[in-house]
């Protein structure tokens, strides 16, 4: 079976993807510097799948260490590249850290891939590359534009991979995630943020009594109830999209679909359905049975009113469709929260 290198495999989306890969019979090699992840996630992935993976604690900024991994592992068939910093706020405060980590780290990865003749990569991109685009729902062809350094790193990496992939005849797949939420149905792996800047982890901690109240950032948007609307996507659906992308690039079919080698394929990973902040809080109240205190605050800087994917192209060409709905997203997030109130530290 094919051997897949997963950078950032111990993180939130990475760990769910590793589990899906192992369950589909792939061999998995994880490279992670554990800067925002726990090895415990991978221990649980092994437990849940009943299979083992190989782990290397390596930063992509350490070229020699990464080369040693490639040397030791022998033939690798493809890379899924998650490893990156992901806080918008932190990227605004410390752009150098973001460019260094997300761009330099990815460049080192590409150089080592080139050196060892590895030519297939699935990249973790984001709907943030659409910037403040007004067109809704968002097709892959919509205009892009970043509004903060984090978004810039995603946009730049997309371009770098197009250029490098084009000249080297690599198979490149760019996956643009909308708003990843939820956890594995077992409640054993999930999102473990140091501080919950995103809506669902925050609401989850309020429901659990760990925080007093959630702020609703603006109720005067031009939306049905005035609060921001997002296309939330279950992390297990996201994980499955990565495995499908890998299956596609490992088969001849990919060449047929892309027309020629060296062509980059870009897919939106969303459901095509949006929910408002108020709807998400209400769903959490309903499913947890807890009171979730919410207070309207001014808009958060940099937020758009609505962000919804048009998933038609991914449904037709990636061969993948989001299957899990709002209740599964919230139920799994709540299960993870109640079973592991302190994340992987408990």
Residue recorded with tokens 């870009």: 266
Q: Which of 16-24, 130-138, 213-221, 259-267 is the region at the interface with ligand UD1 (rule: CB under 6 A)? A: 213-221
The residue among 99 and 217 lying less far from ligand UD1, judged by its C-beta, is 217
* Residue 125 in the binding site for ligand UD1 (CB under 6 A): no
264-269/306-307 β-pairing: unpaired
* Residue 225 in the binding site for ligand UD1 (CB under 6 A): no
Asked if 136 and 306 touch (Cβ cutoff 8 Å), the reply is: yes
The residue among 120 and 154 lying less far from ligand UD1, judged by its C-beta, is 154
Residue nearest to ligand UD1 (CB): 228
Nearest to 92 by CA among 42, 153, 136, 161: 153
Q: Which two tokens mark 67?
A: 């080369």
* Residue 106 in the binding site for ligand UD1 (CB under 6 A): no
Site string for ligand UD1, 161-190 (x = CB under 6 A): ------------------xx----------
Report the Cα–Cα distance between both ends of the chain, in Å, rounded. 35
* Residue 239 in the binding site for ligand UD1 (CB under 6 A): no
Q: Which two tokens mark 45?
A: 């992935």
Interface with ligand UD1 (CB under 6 A), residue from 12, 26, 170, 202: 202
* Residue 118 in the binding site for ligand UD1 (CB under 6 A): no
* Residue 215 in the binding site for ligand UD1 (CB under 6 A): yes
Interface with ligand UD1 (CB under 6 A), residue from 302, 316, 323, 339: 302
* Residue 216 in the binding site for ligand UD1 (CB under 6 A): yes
* Residue 279 in the binding site for ligand UD1 (CB under 6 A): no
* Residue 126 in the binding site for ligand UD1 (CB under 6 A): yes
The residue among 10 and 69 lying less far from ligand UD1, judged by its C-beta, is 10
Q: Which of residues 19-78 bind ligand UD1 (CB under 6 A)?
A: none
Question: In angstroms, rounded to a whole number, what is the distance separating the alpha carbons of residues 333 and 251?
Answer: 34
Q: Which of 100-108, 252-260, 301-309, 338-346 is the region at the interface with ligand UD1 (rule: CB under 6 A)? A: 301-309
* Residue 102 in the binding site for ligand UD1 (CB under 6 A): no
Say whether 98 is catalytic.
Answer: no
Task: Look up residue 216 and give its DSSP letter.
Answer: E
Question: In angstroms, rounded to a whole number, what is the distance separating the alpha carbons of residues 221 and 51?
Answer: 48
Question: In angstroms, rounded to a whole number, what is the distance separating the alpha carbons of residues 125 and 211?
Answer: 31
* Residue 271 in the binding site for ligand UD1 (CB under 6 A): no
CB of 270 to ligand UD1, least distance (A): 11
78-81/54-57 β-pairing: unpaired
Choose, from 26, 150, 177, 275, the residue flagged as catalytic. Answer: 150
Report the half-sphere exposure of 165 (CA within 13 A, side-chain side): 23
Angle, CA 158 vertex, CA 71 and CA 55 arms, to 5°: 30
Which alpha helices (H) appear in the chain, and where do they start and end? 12-23, 39-49, 63-73, 88-93, 95-98, 105-116, 149-168, 199-207, 235-249, 252-258, 277-288, 312-313, 326-339
CB of 212 to ligand UD1, least distance (A): 12
Asked if 283 and 203 touch (Cβ cutoff 8 Å), the reply is: no
Q: How many residues bind ligand UD1 (CB under 6 A)?
A: 21
Residues in contact with ligand UD1 by CB under 6 A are: 88, 126, 128, 151, 179-180, 197-199, 202, 214-217, 228, 230, 277, 300, 302-303, 307
So which residues are the catalytic ones? 150
């Amino acid at each position: 079976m094919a051997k897949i290198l997963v950078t950032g495999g111990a993180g939130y989306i990475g760990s769910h993807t590793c589990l899906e890969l192992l369950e589909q019979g792939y061999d998995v090699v994880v490279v992670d510097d554990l800067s925002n992840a726990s090895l415990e996630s991978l221990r649980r992935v092994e437990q849940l799948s009943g299979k083992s993976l190989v782990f290397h604690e390596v930063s992509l900024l350490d070229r020699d260490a990464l080369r040693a991994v490639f040397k030791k592992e022998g033939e690798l068939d493809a890379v899924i590249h998650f490893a990156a910093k992901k806080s918008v706020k932190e990227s605004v405060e410390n752009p150098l850290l973001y460019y260094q980590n997300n761009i330099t780290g990815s460049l080192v990865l590409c150089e080592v891939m080139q050196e060892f003749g590895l030519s297939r990569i699935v990249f973790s991109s984001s709907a943030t590359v659409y910037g403040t685009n007004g067109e809704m729902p968002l097709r892959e062809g919509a205009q892009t534009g970043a509004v903060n350094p984090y978004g810039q790193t995603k946009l730049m990496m997309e371009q770098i991979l197009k250029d490098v992939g084009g000249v080297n005849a690599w198979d490149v797949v760019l996956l643009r995630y909308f708003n990843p939420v939820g956890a594995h149905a077992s409640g054993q792996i999930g999102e473990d943020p140091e501080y919950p800047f995103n809506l669902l982890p925050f609401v989850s901690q309020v429901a659990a009594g760990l925080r007093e109240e959630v702020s609703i950032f603006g109720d005067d948007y031009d939306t049905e109830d005035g609060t921001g609307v997002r296309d939330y996507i279950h992390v297990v659906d996201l994980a499955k999209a990565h495995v499908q992308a890998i299956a596609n690039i490992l088969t001849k079919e990919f060449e047929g679909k892309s027309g020629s080698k060296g062509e980059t394929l870009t897919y939106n990973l969303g459901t095509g359905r949006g929910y408002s902040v108020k709807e998400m809080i209400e769903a959490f109240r309903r499913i947890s049975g807890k009171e979730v205190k919410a207070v309207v605050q001014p808009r958060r800087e940099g937020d758009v009113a609505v962000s919804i994917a048009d998933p038609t192209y991914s449904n037709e060409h990636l061969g993948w469709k989001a299957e899990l709905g709002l209740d599964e997203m919230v139920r799994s997030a709540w299960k993870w929260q109640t079973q592991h109130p302190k994340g992987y530290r408990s």
